[in-house]
Chains A and B, each alone.
Chain A
């Protein structure tokens, strides 16, 4: 877990740093943008102020410049018409102008007289505002300058008498030569013009501007319905954030300059305001906050989105890597658990293989040695042996496949061998019963090649049954060949297999070398097999040595063959040697004949036996005769039509007897079954042949025949 934890910490630190940087950037950008917005708004307010003041200046200048001409023209009232017309004509900012005369100033013109010129499209019309219904003496623009004696900008108003438009008027009093108030000179400025100018301020697309009069009346605002109808205080009262708006209104009315944040229709807005000095008006620019921070908010959102995405990707990577690590750890833990279980299994399996001979009798005339070298921790090879009731039960087997499955079948096979052989002496029946059991449980199509031997320790007679296993090598008879075996099918292949039992006899020192194909098929780097030839060679070379040395010699031979190559298959060897000491006392002599013409060699053979056994001449001659009869019988008749003939003769000289064994691989023939010739019959009826075996029987004390390993074996015993 250490690695995973470290990775998580690394990612978290990286993310925190990234996030902090982003936030810092975000806030510094925000500040910069706010400053930018303020700057823009202030610039705009200032330039608008300048523009408005410029216009108002022009109007004021125009009005002031005409005070003197008006005073001069008072003598000729009709000339006033052209005067106002010229004022409008000469000042594009002026939408209308009038000279409102004091009451009854020109009696001939009536009580009220006020020539008025105004723009009507491109034309300039004139009109007398001195109608009783209009009543200009009550109008603000007329009253205020007279009160103060100075120029005065009126409150914006909707003029119904003259210009028929929203306007504001600048008016100054005009005195005559006597210093008496004669008239009020005015110039109108259309508020539409302001509205256009102020309304077109576009600091930001969503921003808007407002202009209020000195009484707080809205002169310009985005809602036309409110223009000139409501004051800012009235508007503020209707808003949720009324206090702030009212405060702003008060500040504006007081001619202050500043900025405030306000909640307007649920959105934050920034309000920048500044006075229009000349008219005592105040102007405000309202910018929605989202407008100011629009980009940065969008970018910020994108950054956060990307970060979240990155975080997700990182989390997935981290999760996968941590998970992999955990799985790796689990796998390696599992593996080490399996390893230790396999080691235990190996110990168990090795404990099934006998180290020393188990026997229920003290005297056991047997020399055994075995070895199992599994290719993996556990293997499918087995061998086993034990002694019961004077019989040695031994077996070797090779389960198809390797590893744990083979090991399981191996232990079952070994158990079956032990349990069935506990009360059964016939290899055929043991093997058949084992086959039935193994075929029963064989769902994985595993099978076992198996060789089972039951050796009678009293006389060296061996009964054996092979089930598809490699033929064992015969030991101790100098032949260095294989034991003859009927192959049969391996165990577990199918029910009801019929096996064949075979038998042979071991003399003292004789035995078997059993092995699995891991021996003959042991490969070196060049894929060359150890092979049967090398095995037979090694067995022959070590023949006569104790079983343990034979197995060691074989092991060394394989080792030097494979030269460090990893063994691919389990390797098992078992050497069994019969060592009956009562037999080992015998003196032995052998001879092999291949032709009839070699028969004289029997003389020397017999001579040696006679010398060793200290036989008298007559007995020696008789025994020679008996042997010749037995041997010539074989050479003449056992190999009909065959060029290669062979007969082995062996003499064992015991304390009390001499055993002669004649063996051959010719056609089966039991000479003891031939009836004795009738010696009493008349000469002409006497058969020419048939005397040989008769002589053998007469000379020897005991003659027996058996067919074994494909051989005719005639055993003849002569007592001493």
Chain B
């Protein structure tokens, strides 16, 4: 799993490439720190290249979502595949995020 974070006009965009499984989730915990540090703004999570997510991955999403919520920020998820959308749905995550 690779994470590419870019910033433009106060919006932090994280592009998640690959499978966000349990070990991957542990790996990117550090890498997403900039997102948490700028939780007051808009965070875009680009999942168009994310092939898979486990509950650990969902946990990362939830962490980001909580941080933004606490700082008055905003999280947008983009490019969810149908399969992953199904996972989000099963876990009730669809209701927690703004999905584009």
Of chain B, the residue at the smallest CB distance from A636 is B22
Q: Are B83 and A618 in contact (CB under 8 A)?
A: yes
Q: Are B54 and A628 in contact (CB under 8 A)?
A: yes
Q: Do A688 and B23 contact each other (CB < 8 Å), given the known contacts A618-B86, A621-B52?
A: no
Of chain B, the residue at the smallest CB distance from A680 is B92
Cβ-neighbour of B63 out of A596, A617, A688 (below 8 A): A688
A77 to chain B, nearest CB (A): 191
Question: 0/1 per residue, B25-39, Cβ < 8 Å to A?
Answer: 010000000000000
Q: Are A628 and B21 in contact (CB under 8 A)?
A: yes
Question: 0/1 per residue, A205-224, Cβ < 8 Å to B?
Answer: 00000000000000000000
Cβ-neighbour of B22 out of A596, A694, A699 (below 8 A): A596
Q: Do A629 and B66 contact each other (CB < 8 Å), given the known contacts A599-B22, A622-B86, A695-B90?
A: no
Interface size on A, as a range, is: 20 to 34
Q: Which of chain A's residues have a CB closer than 8 A to the CB of B77?
A: none
Bound-state Cα–Cα, A618 to B55, Å: 16
Q: Are B66 and A684 in contact (CB under 8 A)?
A: yes
Q: Which of chain A's residues have a CB closer than 8 A to the CB of B87?
A: 622, 625, 695
Cβ-neighbour of B59 out of A600, A618, A680, A691 (below 8 A): A691
Tell yes or no: A686 within 8 A of B by CB.
yes
Q: List residues 679-700 of chain A with CB under 8 A from any CB of chain B.
A: 679-680, 683-684, 686, 688-689, 691-692, 694-695, 698-699
Tell yes or no: A148 within 8 A of B by CB.
no
Q: Are A695 and B91 in contact (CB under 8 A)?
A: yes
A-B interface contact total, Cβ < 8 Å: 66
Q: Which of chain A's residues have a CB closer than 8 A to the CB of B23?
A: 596-597, 599-600
Q: Are B63 and A684 in contact (CB under 8 A)?
A: no
Q: Are B83 and A600 in contact (CB under 8 A)?
A: no
Bound-state Cα–Cα, A165 to B59, Å: 174
Question: 0/1 per residue, A596-623, Cβ < 8 Å to B?
Answer: 1101101100000000000001100110
Bound-state Cα–Cα, A512 to B69, Å: 59
Q: Which of chain B's residues have a CB closer than 8 A to the CB of A692?
A: 54-55
Tell yes or no: A624 within 8 A of B by CB.
yes
Tell yes or no: A632 within 8 A of B by CB.
yes
Tell yes or no: B19 within 8 A of A by CB.
yes
Q: Are B55 and A600 in contact (CB under 8 A)?
A: no
Q: Do A618 and B82 contact each other (CB < 8 Å), given the known contacts A679-B92, A695-B90, A695-B91?
A: yes
Bound-state Cα–Cα, A216 to B86, Å: 172
Q: Which of chain A's residues have a CB closer than 8 A to the CB of B56?
A: 632
A207 to chain B, nearest CB (A): 142
Q: Are B69 and A684 in contact (CB under 8 A)?
A: yes
Tell yes or no: B58 within 8 A of A by CB.
yes
Q: Are B22 and A628 in contact (CB under 8 A)?
A: yes
Between B21, B55, B63, B69, the greatest number of chain A beta carbons within 10 A of the residue's beta carbon is seen for B55
A701 to chain B, nearest CB (A): 14
Q: Which of chain B's residues have a CB closer than 8 A to the CB of A688?
A: 59, 62-63
Question: 0/1 per residue, B9-20, Cβ < 8 Å to A?
Answer: 000000000010
Bound-state Cα–Cα, A621 to B88, Å: 13
Q: Are A694 and B83 in contact (CB under 8 A)?
A: no
Bound-state Cα–Cα, A257 to B56, Å: 159
Q: A596-B23, A691-B91 are in contact. List 7 more A-B contacts (CB 8 A).
A: A599-B21, A618-B82, A618-B83, A622-B83, A625-B87, A636-B22, A683-B69
Can you give 21 A-B contacts (C-beta < 8 A)? A596-B22, A596-B23, A599-B22, A603-B52, A618-B82, A621-B83, A622-B83, A622-B87, A625-B54, A629-B54, A629-B55, A632-B54, A632-B56, A680-B92, A683-B66, A684-B69, A686-B62, A691-B58, A691-B59, A695-B55, A695-B87
Name the 10 nearest CB pairs between A and B, nearest first. A679-B92, A691-B55, A632-B22, A692-B55, A618-B83, A621-B83, A597-B23, A698-B90, A628-B54, A599-B22
Binding site for A on B (CB under 8 A): 19, 21-23, 26, 52-56, 58-59, 62-63, 65-66, 69, 82-83, 86-87, 90-92, 96
